[in-house]
Structure 1
């Protein structure tokens, strides 16, 4: 089964990756804290309040999220994950991205060699359809293809 969605491009790029889905808000600091502090290169999610992601590797995955939540450090955490090569393959949001997460994704694209294509406004249907383990293809124009 294959379905296509179109969103707004925040950071463009073409990538293919395995989906990792959270139906709750993504707390960037809580999720990446252990990875950035203790050297976990697979970036296992350390946010025990997110049962969809807790203890699952995020590095290289297509993170499919409704939105980010948490502190004002969120953008810096995304930038640091990219600078340490622990970033997601891409960030895909069903809702509009917040300015802090957008800033982190943009800074990672500009200041590191490890971009995270980022698309928002994919809609509630996107998050209802996509499942962890699905194959995700992201295109420069904001097209996201989900295949299972």
Structure 2
């Protein structure tokens, strides 16, 4: 359970042998239900049966239907949570503070790196890039010095 499937072109959704089948005029796509965490249907013409919706719910797949403005209109959730997602959540909660701080440091490091790449692609002044790079080098576990906010302020300025 790791994929979010976005359906904007499919005309019909079915379940066959524990696979989600997405049919449209030109082709069929198939995705194992075990791989899907969420399904977003952003096409008002897509047909889906109650059996398919029940199978999605049975497999713990969060299904979101969008309206004509491409905004979520409803969310179909399983009444029985899937054991995999709850066990992953329990494992994440039980991590030590040090591990959580290191993971948070890695997330912020990636965010700052992405900000630097975006600015480089847009030929932004080298002074701003060097400032972000310097701040990235001083990033601490848990971001106790709040480098994320400082870099965001520079990035969005």
- The answer to whether TM tops 0.5 is no
Higher Rg: 2
TM superposition score category, shorter chain reference: 0.3 to 0.5
TM-score (norm 1): 0.34
TM-score (norm 2): 0.33
Structure with the higher helix share, 1 or 2: 2
Relative contact order, higher structure (CA 8 A, sep 6+): 1
